[in-house]
Amino acid sequence: MHFELRFFRKSFYLITSLCVFLSGCLHSEEEITKTEHEFPQNTALPSGQEIIKSLKENSPNKEHPRLMATDTDFKRIKKELKTDENLKKWYNSLQLEADRILQEPAVKYEISDGKRLLPISGEVLKRTVNLAMMYRLTGNNRYANRAWKDLSTVADDKQFPNWNPTHFLDTAEMTLAVAIGYDWLYDYLSFNQKEILRTALMKKGLQPALEVYRGTAKASEISMFWKDVTHNWNTISNGGIGVGALAIADESPETEALSGEVLQYAIESIRKSLAVYAPDGGMPEGISYWSHATIYMAYFLSSLDSAIGTDYGLSSMEGISETGYYPIYVQGMKGTFNIGDAGSNIITTAPQMFWFANKYKNQDFSYFALKGNHPMNLIWYRKQKKEKSDITNLSLDRVFMNSEIGLITMRSGWNSDATFVGIHAGNNQQPHGDLDIGDFVFDTSGVQWAYELGSDNYNLPGYFDMNSGRWNYYRKRAEGQNTLVVNPNKGPDQNIKASATITDFSSTDRQGFTIINMSSAYERDAISVRRGIALTGDRTIVVLQDELKLKAPSEVYWFMHTKSKIEISKDKKTVTLHLSGKRLYGHIVSPAQGHFSIMDAKPLPSSPNPAGQGDNNDIKKLAIHLNGVKDTTLSVIFTTDKGKIEREKDWKNPLPLSKWSTSGVMNSN
């Protein structure tokens, strides 16, 4: 393999992230799969008694605040507010939001979709963080009074009989919210108020979690799968519950016993989901779920540090120190590479990047988050010696090699009109996964040309049935991705158990390329299917090349979803895409019988088409349709330079993938 990736040097790159607190839709329904995963045991697991002992030593005399920040931290923030412009900006925003919340009525118990309390849990978390932080920074009781209004409401059994443990993310998020309120408002709360919140945390948060950990919960009453899986449900559930246990752990013998056992289990369980970030920080569920999972990782690990003085080796697990690079690299100039159910919007807020920056002394991550606006910025941010850096020092290409992720991105630069391409190998059984092996995205000139459709309605029947139902929906099928379909029929149009491999990756100053083996995705019809994508010609030309060896003469579709207007030449070999006043040119180099066509972004006539799916009316498909092919090479080039397309029309035989190298990926005629 080539892997001539230039040394990764520190630099400045500002991107934006989605607001984590307004993310009810980002949580997943990963009851769909229960995946065991090996994880390192490089640190001995602490017992509950050891955890409580360490807590009392590090936070003596029931010291509060202790979650994510101590009284010393809040005093530092108040002092630095006088001189640090970033802190001033975030504080002003915090004050505006807190003052707005003062006028809002208390939350109500609402499960609007029949399943989730999650929007309410998220709202309580957002309000509590804003109000409690304003109280700590100003000492103004009106913010604490208003926070108590919501906290007492969700603690009251008549108004909130539970925190919806049948959808445990709701419980975990509400537990986190009440824990932060209990901890940050500790010196404001009366004895009776503390008892009310403490009782609610135990009854509605920690005890249901303990039943899950012990295996005594009833599945009809509490969702149980999250403690054994490796995806975001594990991180979020353990993180929220773990912070809740830390908040009240030393209040009484009863809370010591309960919290100690919960923390012991949570530290053991969360290792399973943290293990997926090995070896290089990638996350198979996509950027939206990365965002939500990693902020809960930061909530829990930073609270362990501030309350106990150690996170028991969790932050040292392989890949965690690198995961801050994941959002940097999977975001293009106009959108994200939103594999599976992940969102396409550029991330606008990621305060956990400040925590990663501090924990691992990596200024790249801090630069990422500087333009974001989130209350936790005030706690996790540290002023850097340099506020600017030369972004040309940041490597242009990145490969996330974990076989469950298998994602590669390449770009021509870090400027707003640079070319960005990404391609996905991965595993079709990953949580939130699609039949998307070979899927690619493509931005250039400030326009997203190759578009990924993303999620559909999570409440569609069978949407999370990874063995059957999910593959009836267009956006989840291969035909709804930018990839190949071979011999379409009503069944899944890729092998649902397929896992692709990255067989080559090369990155130099003048070009980058990667090759993936997609054969397992098409094993019903193919002997071998390989796809290569290159950003070449001094990073001005994108080459997308498929080499297929099929078992019998077959029907093959090549698809690229786009929001652009499509204009096809008379010979149907060349295409011009128009969007936002920009143009992109494409040309079919091979095979001779290949022709472009335009299709609607909807199921093929042979495909299932259940009711209730989202419409894709603003999307078209650029397609190539081949019939009766057995062994073929399908090679397409794209560039914004019309002259380069004209010059390359005379190409007859593309360079085989086996001969792609650092010296080039195209024949020179």
Q: In the chain, what are the domain boundaries?
A: 41-280, 396-657
Q: How many whole angstroms separate alpha carbon 64 and alpha carbon 74?
A: 11
Neighbouring C-beta atoms of residue 34, cutoff 10 Å: 13
- pLDDT at position 127 is 98
pTM attached to this predicted model: 0.91
Using one digit for the tens of pLDDT, what is the confidence trace for 583-596?
999 999 999 999 99
Do the beta carbons of residue 281 and residue 398 sit within 8 Å?
Answer: no
Q: How many whole angstroms separate alpha carbon 326 and alpha carbon 349?
A: 14
> pLDDT-based confidence at 649, cuts 50/70/90?
low
- pLDDT exceeds cutoff 80 at 63: yes
Quote the mean pLDDT of the chain.
91
Q: Where are the beta strands (DSSP E) in 434-525?
A: 440-444, 447-450, 484-486, 501-507, 512-517
Using one digit for the tens of pLDDT, what is the confidence trace for 194-246?
999 999 999 999 999 999 999 999 989 999 999 999 999 999 999 999 999 99
- pLDDT exceeds cutoff 50 at 180: yes
- pLDDT at position 3 is 43
- pLDDT exceeds cutoff 70 at 606: yes
Could you name the CATH architecture of 41-280? Alpha/alpha barrel (1.50)
Question: Do the bridges between strand 541-562 and strand 526-536 make them parallel or antiparallel, or are there none, so unpaired?
Answer: antiparallel
Task: Give me the mean pLDDT over the 342-352 stretch.
Answer: 85
CA angle 153, 156, 161 (to 5 degrees): 110
Using one digit for the tens of pLDDT, what is the confidence trace for 24-38?
334 444 433 333 333
Do the beta carbons of residue 464 and residue 32 sit within 8 Å?
Answer: yes
Fill in the DSSP letter of residue 477: S
Higher pLDDT among residues 637 and 112, named by residue: 637
CA angle 291, 325, 281 (to 5 degrees): 80
Task: Give me the mean pLDDT over the 478-487 stretch.
Answer: 98
Contacts of 63 (CB under 8 A, 6+ apart): 70, 71
- pLDDT at position 11 is 34
Fill in the DSSP letter of residue 33: -
> pLDDT-based confidence at 363, cuts 50/70/90?
confident
- pLDDT at position 256 is 98
Q: Lowest-pLDDT range, 226-240, 528-542, 648-662?
A: 648-662
User: Which CATH number describes the domain made up of 396-657?
Assistant: 2.70.98.70
